[in-house]
Amino acid sequence: MWKWKRKRVQEEKQDELNAKAEETLETLFKTLKKSDDFKSYQAGVSGYIVSYVGTLSEPKLLNHSVLPVLKQHTVYTLDDLKNLLPVEDLQITDDPSLVRQKMMTGHIAIQLKENDPGVLLIPAVTVEGRKVSIPEVEFSVVGPKEAFVESIDKNMNLMRKRLTLPQFTMKEVTVGKITKTRVGVVYIDGIADPDNVNTVLQRLQDIEYDQIIDSSFITQMIADNSTSPFPQLLDTERPDRAVEVIVEGKIAIIVDGSPHVLTCPTTVVEFFSSSDDYFLPWPLASVFRLIRLFAVFFSVLSTSLYVAILTYHHEMIPEELMSTIVSSRADIPFPPILEVIILELTIELLREAGARLPTKIGQTIGIVGGIVIGTAAVDAGLTSNVLLIIVALAALASFTTPVYQIGNTIRLIRFPFLLGAQMWGLIGVSMVMAFYIGHLIKLKSIGRPFFAPIYPLRFRDLRDAFIRLPFNKQSERPMQTRPVDAVRFNIKRTSEKRDVDE
């Protein structure tokens, strides 16, 4: 595999070299002229050539600041022109590849005459994008209501305004052979472990792919084990959450064109913590977190336990429950496993349909599907009432996960459990669980253990794992990130003991 990677790197370098050797301004303009939205014309008293991509550059700037100057003055060098133009960040270059890069991001190029090697580049970038809106995937009742958008600059802005610190650093990498997507690695210098930063940068640079459309591409490409169903980088659309973990010493990866920011290194418990947990008083937050965790286990295990117990271990059903279960099962023609699979697939269908349809129709489909199909299936004697309740609860429970990605994982991993249950009852379920535990221990998130703080056991990090202790008990940043500066605040100063009535 390494061999293969190396080979790819070599090939790519050769491609680049070829391009450089061949590319001149002439060929560049020739290529561009094939597209109809490319504008190039002579303007002004001296007949300069003004060229730009019409759909990328802002006409306002051209009309108000550039053209008037060109028409009023006669200049002989680009330097003179540069001094005259009331626009910031002008650049003169004769490097064709730079010209190409800049023009493709909305710069206006001015040449003294056609095929002149010197080019003045005027930034006139206009990027159409969405306004900052409220988070939809990770909605919270209290707390900030801003969500990331598809622009890397706006996203940086959203974070920077929350973190006014000079050490807040962003390293930019361009990824994707064709899309040339800007990817930013964001961290706080002096808190984040340089090793982690290097790992991330290294992995980003090693990516070999033609297009990066969304941050989820990056997640899959730089994951330590890309065949695992568990996501090894956490994605969030909340700037507050991103900033929160950056302060903990984690690293965020912003991808241009994606409203989701990736954070790493992450742990499995982090996927079950929501930003609400920090907005509520800690006892409530802890209880809700535990409920969520229980919900996850319920969602994964309930149907397989149903299969195991009904198929093999009916001795476990108490007498009082027996009549309920047996009479609802009595006229079902299928064995429990088939019954479960039918119902699980139905729920999965509803989910998929609901996710693909517009919100309003999606809701209707959910209700219609849930109620009508469910009742009809029970009436028709295809599934039992008890199972319908269990499956519906399991589906509901799987929606309690605050991070969408892990919800998908939960949807998937219950099927091996069903298989185990059908084969060897509870022992089968246990064995599948053992497999997943082993798998989780094996997993790593950018080289840091994914199953922490459970294993390796880190008592410090357990304070914000299954439960969330109050802020004054969290005087140190999590060990998971190996922060350079681990101390959040001086615990001694805050924990002075006071006697009664003092």
Partner 1 sequence: MKRKGYWLLVVVLLAGCQTIYSVEDRAIVQILGYDYVDEKQLKGTVGIPHYGEGSTRTVEELNLTITAESIKDFSEKVERESSKPLSMGKLAVTLYDERIAQDGIEEFLDVLSRDPRVGRNIYMGIVDGNVQELIEEKYEQNETTAKYVKGVIENNSQRNFPEANLHSFLYAYYADGIDGFLPYIAKKNGHIEISGVALFDGGKFVSVVSEEDALTLKFLKEEVNQGAANIKTAQESLGNVGIEVTDSTVNYKIDNSKEMPQFDINIKVTGFINEMKQRDVDSVQTPELVAEIEEKYKEQFKERAEALVQQFQEANTDPLGLGNLLKNRYRNFDKEKWEEQYPDVPVNINVEVHITGTGISL
Partner 2 sequence: MNKLSNTNSVRIPEQFLITPMFVFFIIHSMQVGVGILGFESYIAEHSGFDSWISLLLAGAFIHLLLWMVYEILKKSGGDIVAIHKDLFGKHIGGLFSLFFSFYFLLLALTVLRTFIEVIQVWVFPSLRVEIFTFVFLGLIYYLVIGGFRLVTGFCMISVVLTIPLLLLKFFPIEVGEVNYLYPVIDHSLLDFLKSSKASILSFLGIELLLIFYPFIKDPQKSIKWAHFGVFYTVLIYLATALVAFIYYSEEQLEHVTWGTISLWKIVEFPFIERFEYIGIALWVYAIVPNICLAMWGASRIPKRIFNANQKVMIVIYCFILYAAALFLNDRQVVDKVNTFTGEVGFYFLLYIPILYVLMVLLHKVRNQK
> Which residues would be at the binding site for partner 2 (CB under 8 A)?
312-313, 315-318, 320-321, 423-427, 429-431, 434-435, 437-438, 441-442, 451, 454-457
CB of 216 to partner 1, least distance (A): 22
Q: Look at residue 251 and give the partner it binds from partner 1, partner 2, none, a contact being a CB closer than 5 to 8 Å depending on partner kind.
A: none
Q: Is 71 in the site for partner 1 (CB under 8 A)?
A: no
Residues 38, 56: Cα–Cα separation, whole Å? 9
In the complex with partner 2, which residue's Cβ is closer, 371 or 434?
434
Alpha carbon 101 to its chain's center: 27
Pick one of partner 1, partner 2, none as the site partner of residue 429 (Cβ within 5 to 8 A by kind): partner 2
> Whose Cβ is closer to partner 2: residue 291's or residue 316's?
316
Binding mask 317-356 toward partner 1 (x if CB under 8 A, else -) reads: x-x--xxxxxx-xxxx--xx--------------------
CA distance 16 to 309: 62
3-state secondary structure of 419: helix
Ordered DSSP codes for 159-219: HHTT---TTEEEEEEEE-TTT-EEEEEEEETTTS-HHHHHHHHHHHHH---S---SHHHHH
Is residue 314 a contact point for partner 1 (CB under 8 A)? yes
457 binds, among partner 2, partner 1, none (CB under 5 to 8 A by kind): partner 2
Mark the segment that binds partner 1 (CB under 8 A) among 3-11, 81-89, 120-128, 416-424: 416-424
Nearest residue (CB) to partner 2, 43 versus 423:
423
The b/e string for 128-155 (b: 16+ C-beta within 10 A; e otherwise) is eeeebeebeebbbeebbebbbbbbbebb
Token pair recorded at residue 168 = 């807040």
Buried b (16+ CB within 10 A) or exposed e, 295-326: bbebbbbbbbbbbbbbebeeeeeeeeeeeebe
The structure tokens listed for 468 are: 């969330």
Complex with partner 2: residue 234 or 429, whichever CB lies closer? 429
455 is written with which tokens?
């294993």
The answer to the question of residue 419 lying near partner 1 (CB under 8 A) is yes
Residue 441 contact partner, candidates partner 2, partner 1, none, CB within 5 to 8 A by sort of partner: partner 2
Nearest approach, Cβ of 333 to partner 1 (angstroms)?
11
With H, G, I as helix, E, B as strand and everything else as coil, classify residue 38.
strand
Binding site for partner 1 (CB under 8 A): 310-312, 314-315, 317, 319, 322-327, 329-332, 335-336, 419, 422-424
